[in-house]
Amino acid sequence: MLSQRLQQKLLQKLSPQQILLMKLLQIPSIALEQRIKQEIEENPALEDAADPEMSTDQEEPQNETETDPAEELERERDDFDLTDYLDEDDIPAYKLSSGNTSADDEHRDIPYASGTSFHDTLTQQLGLRVLDQMQVDIATYIIGNLDDSGYLKRELSAMVDDLAFTQNISTNIKELLEMLLVVQEFDPPGVGARDLRECLLIQLHRKDQTDSVKLAIELITNYFDEITKKHYDKIIKKAKVAELELKDAINEILKLNPKPGNSFEEGGRSNQYIMPDFSVYNKDDGLELLINSRNMPELRVSRNYVDMLEGYSEAKTKSNSQKEAVMFIKQKIDSAKWFIDAIKQRQHTLYVTMMAIMNFQHEFFITGDETKLKPMILKDIAEIVGLDISTISRVANSKYVQTPFGTFLLKSFFSESMQTDSGEEVSTREIKKILSDCINAESKDKPLTDEQLTDILKEKGYNIARRTVAKYREHLNIPVARLRKEL
């Protein structure tokens, strides 16, 4: 049975302005510049104050059309009030513009490097070989199937079928292997290999055949698994070589490039530079915090659009087309004001959050010693600045701070706490730094095991389990003791 009832509900919804602010908070400065330019392109009522092409000296003419008085009276009844947009008290100058830079700021353009890609380099070398058209097509297809590291991961039999179906080239595995050997002769040495062993062997065969290089070829051919696992004792027994000879051969192997395509690929991509969002300076009277606003356009609401509204309000007759145009102008001016306010709110939120982090980690920003970092979680900063934890998380996401001791990811200052034997709470970042220092100072012929590292940390007052040491070691991308061993 259907029935009607009256019910009250309390719902919490984000306004469009809040959603815009949240999106702007989580992007770094280098992406914010592009986001502002995108908004300027999409919203004609928003303009760059420094752009000479956006001149506001000329006003667009207002077209007036005669309409029927009865129709005009009906439209004026549901017309909106323009005083909110024309009253100077409601639109002060500071709300119509956003000055992101000062006269003292230095304008710097970020350079982007470009170069020849890895695959283009191989194709150019292919043009130096004397080959018929079919061989060129097969070699070009092989080059196109190499991954960014320079390896050929596809089976030759599958490539034979693909050449037949996609390019109408009838070939076989033998012909394909012949062209693969041609590609493997290209620079950088090691390209076209089908696995790591073949890649290393290609590079070794192209070196001067000294005794250590010949031994390295033999080791890679016959004892590859033992080398990857650093079972040097087994190799000495099986290969019947002296430890000094093995050391020289291992040194030759360590000079090789396991991913020959990476060096070319990095040169071919546009280099991504880190633009710090904050800068912290050590002054005589303490720390100074600056927010990076370089290269950010200065925003303002287009005066032409405000003049259009004034012209509409002064017009004695208003047509349907004029009303639709003014509704469009009203929407764009609102959007421009919201965007300018969101940019200002973003800068303020970033400043107060980074100021709280800087004061919380004051000792680190003064000394640069990572062991001085205090345990800090998002909740700590949220309580200081009076914002939600999710807002602090957005601020810390993908933001960098430049200090006299280097540039750090803002997220790296947040860490859990751990209690020492003396009852003092320390940051897990401090424990990781001590762990890293211990491993750097160890004897490489007898690296410290996780159990030994656990004992060292316990002697220093950090009572943690061996599995925790292993977890921290993995966070630092440090391999186990066996793989850190050197002859």
- Look up the domain containing 205 and give its range: 194-259
* Selection from 337, 273, 267, 305 nearest residue 114 by Cα: 267
Q: 254-267 in b/e burial notation, b at 16+ Cβ within 10 A?
A: eebbebbbeebbee
Q: Domain boundary at 219, 243, 259, which?
A: 259
- On whether residue 123 sits in a domain, the answer given is yes
* 348-361 pLDDT per residue, tens: 999 999 999 999 99
Please say which residue of 238, 259, 280 terminates a domain.
259
- Decide if 472 is inside a domain: yes
Q: Are residues 227 and 165 in the same domain?
A: no
- Other C-beta atoms within 10 Å of 357: how many? 26
What is the rounded average pLDDT for all residues in the chain?
A: 80
Q: Are 448 and 480 within one domain? A: yes
How far apart are the C-alpha atoms of 272 and 472, rounded to whole Å? Answer: 29
Assess contact for 299 and 97: CB atoms under 8 A: yes
Same domain, 181 and 133: yes
Question: Which residue from 13, 174, 21, 237 is spatially nearest to 159, judged by alpha carbons?
Answer: 174
- Any domain includes 214: yes
DSSP strand pairing (278-283 vs 400-403): parallel
Q: What is the CATH number of the domain that holds 445?
A: 1.10.10.60
Q: Tens of pLDDT along 327-349?
A: 888 888 888 888 888 888 888 99
In a domain, 379, yes or no: no
pLDDT value at position 479? 87
Same domain, 185 and 204: no
- Are both 187 and 243 inside the same structural domain? no
- Residue 56 falls inside a structural domain: no
Per the domain annotation, does 42 fall within a domain? no
Helix (H, G, I), strand (E, B) or coil at 254: helix
Query: Residue 123 is part of a domain; what is its CATH number?
Result: 1.10.10
Distance of CA 199 to the CA centre of its chain: 31
CB 309 within 8 A of CB 46: no
Q: Is residue 40 part of a domain?
A: no
Q: Give the Å distances, CA to CA, from 125 to 114, 186, 264.
A: 20, 7, 14
Q: Of the residues 193, 210, 237, which one is the last residue of a structural domain?
A: 193
210 and 237 in one domain? Answer: yes
Domain count for the chain, please give it.
3
Higher pLDDT: 109 or 431? It is 431
Q: Is residue 148 domain-resident? A: yes
Q: Looking at the structure, do residues 123 and 189 belong to the same domain, yes or no? A: yes
The answer to whether residues 167 and 199 belong to one domain is: no
Residue with tokens 């639709």: 324
pLDDT tens digit sequence for 438-462: 888 888 888 888 888 988 888 888 8
DSSP 427: E
Name the pLDDT band for 425 (thresholds 50, 70, 90). low
> Whole-structure pTM over 0.75, yes or no?
no
The residue type of 189 is P
| pLDDT for 199 | 93
| DSSP 3-state of 317 | coil
214 and 150 part of one domain: no
For residues 230 and 182, membership in a common domain is answered with no
Q: What is the pLDDT of residue 57?
A: 43
Examine the domain organization and report whether 168 and 218 are in the same domain: no
Same domain, 206 and 168: no
